Amino acid sequence: MDLLEEDLTCPICCSLFEDPRVLPCSHSFCKRCLEGILDDNRSPLWRPPFKCPTCRKETAHNGVSSLQVNYSLRSIVEKFNKIRASPRMSQCRAHNGQPLNIFCATDLKLICGFCATTGEHKGHKFCALEEAYEREKVAFDELLRSVESWKGAEVLSCLEALEGAKKKALQMASCDLDRVAEYFDTLFRALENKRSEILSDFEALKLAVMQTFDPEINQLRSSLEEQQRALRLAESFRALTEPLSFLQCMQDFRERVRAVRETPLPARADVDVAALVPSFDVHEWDRVRLGDLDALRAPHEGGALRSPASRGVPARLSRILWGFAALLCACLCLSNYLPMDWVSAGFSAKPVSALTRVPVPAPAEMLRWLSRCWREVAGVCALLTELCRNCVIELIDTTSEFIS
């Protein structure tokens, strides 16, 4: 079209020809353009010969009205104006430059001549654009009624229920987070690491709540928006009478209706929020000692404290160590009063007679020595108890994390 427009353009005014006149040299110009040139060259005393603006060939000056009208060129210009004013025919995406001038009655879409003879439309039924227009006009009314009767109210109700459940779940999680923060703020600086850990668990819970609800909520909201776009599109072209434009819009409308119909609805909207955000009381942690701080867990991670079995292991270990401490203390006290030669002999030479030679200390002296030994052994055993308990707890944590 652009190349054709160049051939239909007047060299003088650079516009499409208007009432073109042809000179003897076969060049054509607008009548008005030629009159303007002649008026500029007009003189009352002498009339110079007229020269062609293109080839400069001289022509007798007998007036523009005496020049022959270029009827062929004028007819071409008129047809070109009509074509340019009419809606531009779309081109095939698969075959560049080919117009969509055929309607496939099998696939219900506009195609080009190459599509009709080759490819996926080979062997399909085709019809003229006017006939397709009449058929699709009837199909349009049916599709419009199906879109208007779509489950918009049901989807909106489901969307509101999901948004309400999401809001409630987030409020519960936020309240729990605030209570946990208030509880841990009253403790010593040693609780800060555990506080951060549990708060991050609740943040993960909120993220899990949003990941649970947001996909379905966004999908339902997109479906409602797609329905509104389909209705607006239908209103914009339902009154079209030009077949090509109507069929193009109808094709787009059919795709939007298909997208609306294929939107899956969620299985149910009544989500059990308590299952996602379990309720708990922070005062359950009042019985936890600072030494057992690692046993604290967020409620959605399997309970506020560890299992009784894991708590019983350090207690049994502590009883064993304290029993060993008592036995060691008794041995130390006894060794202080045994004869060194009897001890070095390894209890081999008459132990009964040797025991009779052991001097019996006074009760007060024995009590002081026993108290001193007990303090020394108790300190060592307390240190060993704490060390062993930490090792056992660390071993249990590592094992449980590996199993889970």
Q: Give the percent of the chain with pLDDT over 70.
A: 68
Model confidence band, residue 362 (pLDDT cutoffs 50, 70, 90) = low
Output the six-digit token pair for 58: 């001289």
Using the 8-state DSSP alphabet, how is residue 87 labeled?
Answer: P
Asked whether the predicted pLDDT for residue 116 surpasses 50, the reply is yes
Express each pLDDT in 37-93 by its tens digit: 777 666 555 566 778 888 888 877 677 778 888 898 889 888 888 877 666 667 777
Kindly state the average pLDDT of the residues 158-179.
91
Output the six-digit token pair for 46: 């002498």
Is the pLDDT higher at 249 or at 370?
Answer: 249
pLDDT at position 162 is 92
pLDDT at position 2 is 63
For 254, residues 6+ apart whose C-beta sits below 8 A from its C-beta are 108, 143
Output the six-digit token pair for 360: 């019996």
pLDDT at position 331 is 65
Q: Are 155 and 220 in contact (CB under 8 A)?
A: yes
Average pLDDT over the chain reads: 75
Q: Which residues pair with 104 in a beta bridge?
A: 109, 126
Is the pLDDT higher at 266 or at 115?
Answer: 115
Question: Pick from 142, 99, 117, 146: which is nearest to 244 by CA?
Answer: 99
pLDDT at position 165 is 92
Asked whether the predicted pLDDT for residue 167 surpasses 80, the reply is yes
pLDDT at position 283 is 80
Residue ranges of domains in the chain, CATH in brackets: 2-85 (3.30.40.10), 102-148 (no CATH), 152-287 (no CATH), 306-403 (no CATH)
